[in-house]
Structure 1
Amino acid sequence: MIQEFCAENFTAIPKALREGVQRIELCDNLAVGGTTPSIGVMAESLAYTSEQGIPLMVMIRPRGGDYVYNDIELKIMERDILEAKKIGIDGIVIGCLTQEHLIDEDAMLDLLEQAQGLQVTFHMAFDEIPKDKQLAAVTWLAEQGVTRILTHGGPLDQPVETFYPALKELLAAADPRMTFIIGGGITAQNKNQVLSTLGCVELHGTKLINLTAKDTKY
């Protein structure tokens, strides 16, 4: 099992690593689903995780809301990727959709060009893709070198257990080159059940470990 801890800033990262987390996703503004953290937060987080041999993935997202981005927003994302590469980030977490909730292939190709050499995860924008289009989306992403998809299986306002049947079907039928990370409502209390039920190997969340107020404040 690989546990990917979602960190809103640096503060909880040391505790997460002490608790055995194997990967960090770093972002800002979790209240809107996560946005791009500052270069300063990236750099200090990377310095710490690198010392521990733990990969750091960085959210590249210019704002909350939907995943349909205009040209200016895409330029911002491209620049953020380049700046993240300069400081040695291990990978990025991205996702672009069209108005029809399909993968925006042109936007993704532009971002992936800037991200060459980095690990790439497609985030929970995936859950907005129509179910009958998801397998094709997985194959397309795998062909572009994306190796992981983060999914809850459906709307985040419903517990992950609701989507066990759909997730099982997806994991069984999807392109074998793709690894799925199950996230959204995964906690220290239910993670073993999720693993055993789905047979997945990677989990993601902010509550994979038990944190106190002291762990999340400077």
Structure 2
Amino acid sequence: MFLKEVCVENYTVVPSAIAKGATRVELCNYLPSGGTTVSKGVMQETLAYCSEYSVPVMVIIRPRSGNFVYNDTELKIMGYDIIEAKNLGIDGIVVGCLTEENWIDEDAMEQILEESYGLQTTFHMAFDSIPKDRQFEAIDWLVEHGVERILTHGGVANHSIEITLPRLKELVDYANNKIIILPGGGITDKNASQVIEFLGINEVHGTKIVGKLA
């Protein structure tokens, strides 16, 4: 058995996702842009349903599409969204802040980690914008700051998961169980088992991880 995190835009498909075997839900609005934060109402109804099946719910904290460089006002917005998510009983957040140089925005991330204390934290695919030669260093930083997992495609988004698997394996091996490497992007119910076997992991992420949802 392995954990299947399904990424959904709204509550509508949550019941069918769980019926098809999803074991964690990530709420992520406006997927064509890479995802933004869903409404409080979507969080609340999703949590109410998922709690009946003991399915954890993660929510992306991202105020807009585009890059991952946030100004002070955007960080305030993210902080308010984290407070709302915590008050509703969300299990964790998915977030990532970068500098103009595509390194972790350490000040912003430390602020967010303080605000989200007690929640699981996944550093999202902003990780794939970090230069390859600094990604091991980034893993070290995230481990030191208590981040539980990194969602990554292992390369640029338009490359298939089959192409990026070797890089993902390097990341998994370097992480060495100190942090979870959560592969995503092009993983479906058809290839998930092969990805898991190749990488030696037990969590996968995708919009079609349990098949196509209505």
TM-score, normalization by structure 2: 0.97
CA distance in 2: counterparts of 1:115 and 1:170, whole angstroms: 25
- Give the structure 2 partner of residue 109 of structure 1: 110
- The answer for the alignment partner of 1:146 in structure 2 is 147
The amino acid of 1:33's aligned partner reads G
Structure 2 Cα separation of the partners of residues 64 and 30 of structure 1? 10
Runs of 4+ in 1 over 3 A off after TM superposition: none
Bigger shift: residues 29-38 or 168-177: 168-177
CA distance in 2, matches of 1:132, 1:174: 15
User: Is the 8 Å Cα contact of residues 150 and 183 (structure 1) preserved in structure 2?
Assistant: yes
Once the two structures are superposed, what CA deviation does each residue of 1:177-212 show, in whole Å capped at 9, x if it has no partner? 200111001111111111122222111000112235
Distance 2:139 2:68 in 1: 17
Distance 1:192 1:174 in 2: 21
Aligned length: 213
Residues 1:4 and 1:93: Cα distance change in structure 2 (over 3 Å): same
The answer to whether structure 1 residue 71 and structure 2 residue 72 are counterparts is yes
| TM-score (ref. length: structure 1) | 0.95
**2: CA distance, partners of 1:163 / 1:31:** 20
Instruction: Verify the 8 A CA contact 1:154 1:163 in the aligned structure 2.
Output: yes
8 A contact 2:4–2:210 mirrored in 1: no
Describe how 1:1-218 pairs up with structure 2 within 5 A.
Answer: 1-174=2-175, 176-212=177-213, 215=214
Moved more, 102-111 or 203-212: 203-212
Residues of 2 paired with 1:211 and 1:170: CA distance?
A: 28
Note the aligned Cα RMSD (angstroms): 1.0
Deviation at 1:174, TM superposition (A): 2.0
> Which runs of 5 or more residues in structure 2 are unaligned?
none
The one-letter code sitting in structure 2 at the alignment partner of 1:88 is: G
Structure 1 distance, partners of 2:212, 2:192, is 15
1:28-77 CA-partner distances (Å, limit 9, x unpaired): 11111110000000000000011110100001000011100011100000
Partners in 1 of 2:56 and 2:199 — Cα distance? 25
Q: Cα deviation per residue 1:158-183 (whole Å; 9 max; x = unaligned)? A: 10111122111111112532001110
